[in-house]
Chains A and B, each alone.
Chain A
Amino acid sequence: MSAALISLRVLGPAGLIGLSICLLHLGFALLGPVFVLSDPAAQNAQVMLKAPSVAHWFGTDRLGRDMFARTILGGREAMFIATLSTFFAMLWGGILGVFLGLVGRWPDAVLMRVIDAMMSIPWVLMVMLFIAIFGTGMASLIPVLSFSYGLSVVYLARAATLSFVAEDFIWAAKARGHSPLHIVTTELLPNVQTSLAVQGAMQWSWIFLGVSSLSFLGMGVMPPTPDWGQMIADGRGVMQLAPWVVFWPMLALSSLVIGVNLFVDALARNFGIDRALPLQKYIAT
């Protein structure tokens, strides 16, 4: 896999554009606090809803906050939450999916029906149900998002495992008397790691959009931490007077998700994985 990543040529022009957008966003997210000197939460009644100028490159919002600082720093917390949630979702979903794929029989039948039923509640409502109990904040968002997005990972990991359990090399490993854990780590994982990486990246972009949507609804990243979804919700009422208040966060958020999608599409095409995998399981049956 690392060899495939080194030769960037395989990504094609769209993939390279996507990768550059991702790297640019990563750079802003990591280095933002170094070169953004003004406080993104500082209010200033003197400069409310001012158009972009030399003093405020991206203009100011209805509380006189500097849109440049807020836009540059506005993706950090959502990205952080999305990264940790993706990690935990892939972890528990992956372990359970591989386990169910290997064990089969009644645990598989029962748990998959339960997961099926859970997935019929839209993720927003499931997350909102938890938020109603635990309140917002990172400590409740990360477990909740990991749980609800992990459900589809169970499907993927189980499907990936099932496509290999009948292969000869798995039988050979079983015949050699290897333990199931050994078979999973040395035989199964090397075969599914590329598709796992692509799925992980897709999950990341979905969870990131989820966090931003929750912030838009006022249940995700809470003020004073700036966040793009929250900035759009906040600026919507004044966008007739000051379109830049919603323009910059929209540009930042859209470019990030489009960048991730272009990059993942190119990767998936290169590895020969169908990106629309979550739906594939329904079509197969």
Chain B
Amino acid sequence: MLGMVAQRLGWAVFTMVIIALAVFLGLEAMPGDACTVHLGRGASDAALATCRARLNLSDPALYRFFTWAQHLLTEFDLGNSVQRGKPITEIVSWRLRNTIILAGTATALGVPLAIVLGVLTGIYRDSVLDVSVSAFSMFLMTIPEFISGTLLIFIFAIGLGWTSGIVTLSYKAPFWDMMVVSFLPAVTLSFILVAHIARMTRASMIEAMQSDFVLMARLKNVPRRQIIWRHALPNALLPTISVIGLTVAWLLGGVVIVESVFNYPGLGRLAVNAVSDQDLPLVQAIALLFGAIYTLVNLSADLLSITLNPKLRGQRQ
């Protein structure tokens, strides 16, 4: 088991190095750099030279990568924004908190609902509940976030007047205020989450209910309730953990769009602004952060399923 944990840790580190290399050196291979992007095509040579000197772009790429990585690892320094003239770490930290609040609320709302729906539809397969849930989740999976978000604003903010549709808080607003306004965006985000996880839980619940050990339990005349809760469910939930980890990739992609729909002051909207401001170092840093979040969440999901799986717990490999 320790070997497996070490392997997963190693993979996570390797993935982060690859992401950093791809984001950093991939852009080196492209024509232009942060300064040509920032200053535009008509920039004078003198302005370009000053900008490059400011960002130390004249050093060799590999050297810059290592100094940049060293700053990142030793003092959490992601470099400076071209447009905003401030350290990226300072710009990013508050928004990272806000995005984590949003994604956390979406997960807290979505995952329990998805598991309950998946288990119920898996047990009562082909029932009215199952058919309507799967039809509805296909609908939720196909509708893009900017449409479902706009619809929610239309219904709950304009129609019913329960909330203000657009977030007007500053990015430094206190935690609880942020939690409150993150509700509607989080509901939008959780749609896709619920649809995917419920579908996967349903499939693994069906598989567990058809397994030999459930048949054995039924032959022993174990009560149905106990079969479902004690025998089938723990086995069905194990693969769901890694699916939840992977659905976070969808969640993070959705964050960019949902934050723009609701004007929510998080990393996603910052990325959109950074693209329109042509602030390349900032976009790079955000891409890296999203990759890191994804890797960390998947690492935790992997480690959790290793610890929860009795088959792996005993293995010495």
Contacts and interface: CB of A to CB of B under 8 A. Distances in A.
A29 to B, nearest CB: 19
A6 interface: no
B257 A213 contact: yes
A267 interface: no
Judged by DSSP, the binding face of B is helix
Interface stretch (A36-44, A60-68, A170-178, A236-244): A236-244
Contact of B143 (A120, A129, A257): A257
A121 B23 contact: yes
B18 A126 contact: no
B65 interface: no
Given A120-B295, A250-B151, A219 B275 contact: yes
Interface of B: 14-16, 18-19, 22-23, 27, 30, 32, 37, 138-139, 141-147, 150-151, 153-154, 158, 196, 199-200, 239, 242-243, 246, 249, 252-253, 255-257, 260-261, 268, 271-272, 274-276, 278-280, 283-284, 286-287, 290-291, 294-295, 298
Contact of B19 (A121, A128, A236, A254): A121
Contacts, number: 141
Contacts of A240: 158
Chain A interface bracket (under 10, 10 to 19, 20 to 34, 35 or more): 35 or more
A239 B158 CA distance: 9
Given A133-B30, A246-B150, A125 B199 contact: no
A61 B291 CA distance: 39
A113 interface: yes
A84 B153 CA distance: 34
Closest 6 CB pairs of A and B: A122-B253, A117-B18, A120-B294, A117-B15, A216-B146, A124-B256
A114 B298 CA distance: 16
B257 A283 contact: no
A30 interface: no
A3 interface: no
A129 B23 contact: yes
Given A132-B278, A250-B147, A261-B138, 7 more contacts: A128-B283, A133-B280, A217-B260, A218-B272, A279-B246, A282-B242, A282-B246
A129 B287 contact: yes
A132 B150 contact: no
